Each structure stands twice: as C-alpha cells, then as structure tokens.
Amino acid sequence: MFRMFGATLLLAMREIRRHLLRSFLTTLGIVIGVAAVVTMVTLGNGVTASVQNQISSLGSNVLIVLPTRGSGSQVAWRPFKEADVTAVSEQIAGVEYVAGSVSKNVNAYHNGQVWQTSVRGADMAFLLAQSMQVERGRGFTSAEESAGKDVCIIGQKVEQQIFVAGIEPMGETMRLANVPCTVVGVMKERGTSGGGQDEDNQVIMPLKTVQRRFTGNNDLQYFVVKYASGYSGTAVQDALVQLLRQRRLLQAGEGNNFNIIDTAQVNQAVSAATGALTAMVAAIAAISLAVGGIGIMNIMLVSVTERTREIGIRLAIGALAREVRMQFLTEAVVLCCFGGLTGLVLAFALSFGLSKAIDVPFMFSPMVNVLSFLFSALMGIAFGYYPARRASRLDPIEALRHE
Amino acid sequence: MTPPAPPLIELEGITKVFGTGDAAFQALRGVDMQIESGDFVAVMGPSGSGKSTTMNILGCLDTPTSGVFRFRGMEVQALDRDQRSLLRRRYLGFVFQGFNLLARTSALENVELPLLYRGEKKSVRRAAAMKALDQVGLAPWADHTPAELSGGQQQRVAIARALVTEPDVLLADEPTGNLDTERSAEIMHLLQELNRGGITILMVTHEAEMAAFAHNIIHFRDGLVERIETGKDA
Ligand SMILES: Nc1ncnc2c1ncn2[C@@H]1O[C@H](COP(=O)(O)OP(=O)(O)O)[C@@H](O)[C@H]1O
Ligand SMILES: [Mg+2]
C-alpha cells in the first residue's frame, strides 16, 4: 500500500513536470487564493498588534473621562474641577487613583530659539496611568506637585529642537511663554497618540503649576481613573456615570455632558473591526479558491481524456479501479499542494514587504500557513475526485481502442 | 490414477450481445471450447467473427452475456470488476496487436508495471523485469522508450510485460498484425519457445503461416466455433 503510494506520487510529479507550463497556469487560482488569504491575515494581525500596542499605551484598567456637550440638548459644556477628582477617588469603590490634566499651546524659548509646543499640566499619577515614562532625569516629587513648582519634563522633540544635541538638558532653565522652568527630565519617545497629537512635542509641568500660571483656574481638561484589577470596568463606569451626573446636576432624561472611554472596550471594538475585515477577505479568497478548484477539475478532466489509452493499459494489466482513481487524485492533490506552496512563498514576500511599507509588525503565523496549505490539499481532493472517479470507471477495452 | 484435472479453460455456450433493443448485436452465439494446460492454440476466422470478443472474455476484460466460463474449474463469468482485475494480474498475460506500451516510459518500467500493481518492492520488480526482458532478448534496450524501439522490439517488450508476472496463460490478439513477415516469425519463435517452457498460449491470427506454429487451430465464423483442427502434439 505504502509502496504503491510512493510510486503514485513519483508518477504524479513526473506527469506534472511533463506539462510544466500548463500545470503552473492551472494552479494560478490556488496560488492567488492562498497568497491573498495568508497575506491579508498576516497584515491584519500586524495592524491589530500595532493598534493594540497604541491602545495599551493608554494604560490598562484605565477609564478616561472628558467633558462634552450634552448630545443634542441644552446641557451646557462644563469643565471638570479638582473637586470632581476628589469626589471620584473618595466615593467610588475600586478606584486606585484619579488624576486630571490640562494642556495649552505655548511657545518654548531656550538658547535664543523658539519652538511651538504645548504645556501639559499633569502629576506623576497621571503619567503612570497613561504609561508615560521618564527616560532620563527624574519625575516630579510630590512636594513639587503640591507646591506647584516651576519644574518640567520635556518631550524628545522639544529637546531636539531647542537644546544642544549631546548635552543633557537637565538643570537648564527654559521659558514657556513668559514662565521660566527648570528641566528635570526627558520623556521616553511615544509617537503620535490615538487622538493625533504628537506626544513627543510637549512639555509637562505639575498640574498645579499649569493651572496657576497658564490657565488661571482649576479646571481640568479631562481626567483618568485607574481602578484595581479585581474590579470590572463596567461597574466602575456605571458608578462613575451616576456620581458625575449628580455632581453636574443633570436631570433624568438629560444626556450626559461627559464621555467615558474604556480602553478595554476600544480594544474590543478594534478586534471586532479587524475580525469583520478578515471575514470579508476570507470570502473573497474562498471565491478565488473555488475558481482555482474548478480550473484544477477542468485540467484533470482534460488529462483523463488525453490519457484514456494509458488508463486502458493500466486497467488491462490488472490495475484496480481504486488504484487508477488514487493515481489521478494524487496528481490533483500534488498539483494543488504545489499551488498552495507557491502561494505561501508569495504571501511571505508580499506580507513582509507590505508590513514594512505600512509600518506594522510582520506577524508570521505558522498556524495560518499550515491551515492554508492543508486547505489547498483538500481542494485537490474535492476537485480532483470527480475526474479521478471518471478515469477509474473507464471500460478497459474501449479505453484501449481510444486514439 | 488420480481423477483427470479440469481443463485450464472451459467455455460453455458463451454468448455476447452488444447494445440493446434495435441496436443489439449478437457477437457470440454460443461458443464452446476447452484449453488444456500447456496448449498452444491459434484462433482464426474472418474479421468480425468474434475472435477478439472471445479473447476479451477469456482475458477477463469483458463479461459474457450468458454461458459458463471456468478457469481452473472455477466459474468466473460472474466475478465483479475488481475480482476480474485481481485474477488478471495473477494468472493472465495479455498481448495486443497495437503493443499498448506506456509512451515516454522506458521498456524496463513498462515491464515492471504489473508488478507495481502487485505491490512488489523495487528491487524485486527490477530483477523480475530484467529477467523477462532478457527472455525476449531485449535486456540491452531496457532503458529505451517505445518511440526508440522498432515494432518488433515493442511487441517483445509487451510480451515481456505479460510474462513478468509468470502467468498461466498468455493471450495474444493478433500479436503480429502490425509486423512484417520476418519480425512476425521472430515473435512466433519466441512464443513457441515460451510455450515449450510450460506457458499456455492462445493467439488470434489471420495468417496461416503463423497459425502453423500452434498445436491446435480453432476456426471462428459468425460468432460460433466452426471447427477445431487438432495438429501436431508437443
Ligand atoms: N463494443 C462493441 N459494441 C458493439 N459491437 C461490437 C463491440 N465490439 C465488437 N463488436 C462487434 O462484434 C463483432 C465481433 O467483433 P470482434 O470480436 O472484434 O471480431 P474479430 O473476430 O474481428 O476480432 C463485430 O461485428 C463487431 O462489430
Ligand atoms: Mg479482432
């Protein structure tokens, strides 16, 4: 049985080599189908990973709370106050800490140079919740935060623009608008945030300092709520909505004039979106593969007709119907496997190149590759079966008479 | 004395109808014959008299419409397709007028083919195929393809292929039909030699000179055995 299989395999290879161009053209549908699926899935995984990377940079177990205009109602826009932050941290179960932030566009001056940037008022708790890290120098001390000292941590772009390359900026004094401040640290590079803001082009000062010297009030642009990992995001969110509605004097029936973003939910939404995309690609690929399969079936039928006499000879010298069927089935499967393999090589090159081009990680998935390959082999069986059965059912005497 | 063994091949009232209804054609109308082990039989008769149809039935390539076909005393007329294939690959060798070798395949591989279907391993196949090619005098041509061989050589490869399984019976339907007189005589000498080695041979031919090599001659006419000429004995 095994011996027979080896010989059948060799025979199939030889037959395919004999019609190399025809075999290649026949498998093109499968090549393209497999290449499309594997490339899209690989790229999709890369995009998902890249997006999730960005989202996780927002921090996990973190809710972001922003004031908004109440949807379609007369509810006024209202900023959050320090008191809101205190209330949230004191009254909601599971909250580890709450930290607010404000920001303002300003010019930064140093060493006779000027650079457009923004100043962000934020304490270390805020930076922690947002996974923002100090790369060099140090963060703010709690004394600096509570006293509202004129200290700052600068983004990398600010450092490049107005500080001397190669010399550590720590201890230097720079000016933001007309406020002088001492550089104590440099932020780790972060790239552009989900909101489109360049997070490397900003100067961070303690919240109190910015409120006092730049915005002139104790309003908060938004705040983040970090909750303990044992608590569910939705439970904390519900409590938060209730508390904020009450504090913002909203009547029943009035919409929320604030918005809560749950990073976990964003994550889910992105997965759902990529999932839908993947499903669509899979559908397109399925059509392409079906077309490819019909191509295989067609060429196998041609092959059976061309080789009628050969089949007759094999049957006449004692081949069983199932042995002839196996021979043609093997040929179809080998053909499809070659197509699948070519598709995989193509997909590797394509997805490698494209992921570099759109700047997402190259996520080679052995699973997807193996499954696609197995699927193309399965196509060989599905579409090779009918021609193979036809070959095996030929009448030996008539097949021998065939010219 | 032991009871006489049954004849190797026995046909009783074999009929064969091709087609159905108005298009039905009775090619065989009750053929009877007995072939003993070791016989060398020639089958003659006009074209269309049913010689090939009979050979195909004997070769288990076809089944009779009615009648009894015993091989070594066993009734085989009702065997299914796979069983007939198994019988064929074990006991029967078939040689055709048109040689019917696989193109673009070496003589050696052609001869090996029946052994492949028998599941022999490569070394066994090689050795047996070389031996068979040697028997027909073609060992030096083992790696030539049919296109590189003359008609006579091709037919000898086909005979080697039929011999390689060491069958009981060699069935040959006009084996010299495509060959000139000289090549035909070579083939006949080969068959005669093989018959002396013990193999039973049944051969269809048009030519009396070829039939003269056989012990017995069966004459066909209109789907019936017309007469049997019993000639010299071995
Ligand atoms: N498959 C077939 N279908 C219909 N008629 C057939 C078939 N095979 C043979 N015949 C007819 O049966 C008769 C006997 O054919 P055959 O045995 O080949 O004769 P021959 O003695 O020349 O070998 C012929 O008339 C032929 O036309
Ligand atoms: Mg004939």
Work out the minimum CA distance from A318 to partner chain B, whole angstroms: 4
Residues A30 and A164 in one domain: no
Digit-coded pLDDT (tens) for A184-196: 999 998 766 655 5
**CA A127 → CA A121, A124, B72, B209, distances in Å?**
10, 5, 97, 109
Residue of B18, B58, B97 to test ligand 1 pocket, by largest number of atoms within 8 Å of CB:
B18
Number of neighbouring beta carbons within 10 Å of residue B102 = 18
Residues A151 and A221 in one domain: yes
Asked whether residue B66 is assigned to any structural domain, the reply reads yes
Asked whether residue A196 is assigned to any structural domain, the reply reads yes
Binned at pLDDT 50, 70 and 90, residue B146 comes out as very high
Measured CB to CB, residues of chain B less than 8 Å from chain A are: 56, 59, 61-62, 81-82, 85-86, 88-90, 94, 96, 98, 100-104, 113-114, 116-122, 161, 165
Asked whether residue A69 is assigned to any structural domain, the reply reads no
Q: What share of chain B is helix, strand, coil (3-state, %, to 5)?
A: 35, 25, 35
Asked whether residue B3 is assigned to any structural domain, the reply reads no
Asked whether residue A146 is assigned to any structural domain, the reply reads yes
Angle at A283 between CA A376 and CA A331, to 5 degrees: 15
Decide if A28 touches B, using CB distance below 8 A: no
User: Last residue of some domain: A212, A247, A282?
Assistant: A247
For residues B156 and A128, the model is more confident at B156
Model pTM above 0.90: no
Whether B49 has a pLDDT exceeding 90, the answer reads yes
> Which of the residue ranges A266-270, A278-282, B79-83, B202-206 would you say has the lowest mean pLDDT?
A266-270
Asked whether residue A282 is assigned to any structural domain, the reply reads yes
Number of neighbouring beta carbons within 10 Å of residue B228 = 13
Residues A174 and A321 in one domain: no
**Which domain range does residue B171 map to?**
9-230
**Which domain range does residue A277 map to?**
2-54+268-401
Whether A70 has a pLDDT exceeding 80, the answer reads no
What is the rounded average pLDDT of the residues B24-36?
95
User: Which runs of consecutive H residues, i.e. helices, occur in A254-320?
Assistant: 263-306, 308-316
pLDDT reported for residue A1: 56
Number of neighbouring beta carbons within 10 Å of residue B225 = 21
What is the rounded average pLDDT of the residues A18-32?
88
Residues A281 and A235 in one domain: no
| Rg of chain B, C-alpha, whole Å | 18
Whether A11 has a pLDDT exceeding 70, the answer reads yes
Asked whether residue A225 is assigned to any structural domain, the reply reads yes
What is the rounded average pLDDT of the residues A396-401?
92
Asked whether residue B205 is assigned to any structural domain, the reply reads yes
Q: How many domains does chain B have?
A: 1
Alpha carbons A321 and A311: distance in angstroms, whole number:
10
Digit-coded pLDDT (tens) for A339-386: 999 999 999 999 999 999 988 889 898 999 999 999 999 999 999 999
What is the rounded average pLDDT of the residues A272-279?
78
Residues A172 and A91 in one domain: yes
Mean residue pLDDT of chain B comes to 93
What is the rounded average pLDDT of the residues A277-299?
84
pLDDT reported for residue B234: 43
Are B102 and A321 within 8 A, CB to CB? no
User: Last residue of some domain: A215, A247, A279?
Assistant: A247
Residues A288 and A394 in one domain: yes
The secondary structure element, H or E, covering residue A114 is strand A113-122
Asked whether residue B70 is assigned to any structural domain, the reply reads yes
Q: The CATH number of the domain where B213 resides is what? A: 3.40.50.300
Residues A164 and A303 in one domain: no
Cα of B51 vs centre of ligand 2, distance in Å, is 6
DSSP β-bridge partners for residue B218: B43, B228
Residues A207 and A279 in one domain: no
Are B117 and A318 within 8 A, CB to CB? yes
Q: Which chain A residue has its CA at the smallest distance from B117's CA?
A: A319
B-contacting residues of A 55-84, CB under 8 Å? none
Asked whether residue A64 is assigned to any structural domain, the reply reads no
Cα of B48 vs centre of ligand 1, distance in Å, is 6
Nearest partner of B118 among A323, A211, A143, judged by Cα:
A323
Whether B53 has a pLDDT exceeding 70, the answer reads yes
Asked whether residue A61 is assigned to any structural domain, the reply reads no
Residues A83 and A145 in one domain: yes
Are B89 and A18 within 8 A, CB to CB? no
Whether A38 has a pLDDT exceeding 50, the answer reads yes
Digit-coded pLDDT (tens) for B86-105: 999 899 999 998 999 999 89
Are A313 and B121 within 8 A, CB to CB? no
Asked whether residue B1 is assigned to any structural domain, the reply reads no
ipTM reported for the complex, 2 dp: 0.93
What is the rounded average pLDDT of the residues A40-66?
78
Q: How many domains does chain A have?
A: 2
Asked whether residue A263 is assigned to any structural domain, the reply reads no
pLDDT reported for residue B124: 95
